[in-house]
Amino acid sequence: MKILPLFTIEQTVNTYKYLFEPNPMFGMDFFADDFEAKDIVLLDDTKAGSQGIPIHFNYYALFLRIHGETKRTINQFNYLIKPQSLQLVNPGSIYSFKDTTNASRTYVLLFNKAFIEEDSLAVEIQDNLLDFHRKCQQDIVLDTTQFAHAVSIYEQLSSELRAKNDDYKIVTKMLINQLLFLLKREKLNFGLKQNHTRAEQICSEFLILIEEHYWQKRSVKEYASMLGITPKHLSETVKSTLHHTALSYIHVRIIKEIQYLLCFGGMSIKQISYALNFETVSQLGRFFKRYEGMSPKAYQLKHRGVALYDKQYDSK
Tell me how many domains the chain contains: 2
pLDDT at position 4: 63
pLDDT 10s digit of each residue in the chain, 316 long? 445 668 999 989 988 888 899 999 999 999 999 999 989 999 999 887 787 888 889 999 999 999 999 999 898 788 899 999 999 999 988 898 988 988 889 999 999 988 987 766 677 788 888 888 887 888 899 999 999 999 999 999 999 999 999 999 999 999 999 999 999 999 988 765 455 688 988 998 898 899 888 888 889 999 999 999 999 999 999 999 988 999 999 999 899 889 888 887 678 899 999 888 899 999 999 999 999 999 999 998 887 655 444 444 343 3
Domain region containing 165: 9-192
Non-local CB neighbours of 43 within 8 Å, separated by 6+ positions = 13, 19, 20, 24, 27, 28, 30, 107, 108, 110
Mark whether 47 and 163 lie in a shared domain: yes
Mark whether 59 and 182 lie in a shared domain: yes
Q: Phi and psi for 117 in degrees, rounded to 5?
A: -85, -30
Domain end residue (candidates: 141, 161, 192) = 192
DSSP SS3 for 38: coil
Task: Return d(Cα 160, Cα 153) in angstroms, integer.
Answer: 11
Task: Return d(Cα 211, Cα 195) in angstroms, integer.
Answer: 25
In a domain, 223, yes or no: yes
Task: Return d(Cα 295, Cα 302) in angstroms, integer.
Answer: 11
Mark whether 19 and 162 lie in a shared domain: yes
Mark whether 136 and 219 lie in a shared domain: no
The residue among 3, 54, 1 whose CA lies nearest residue 262 is 54
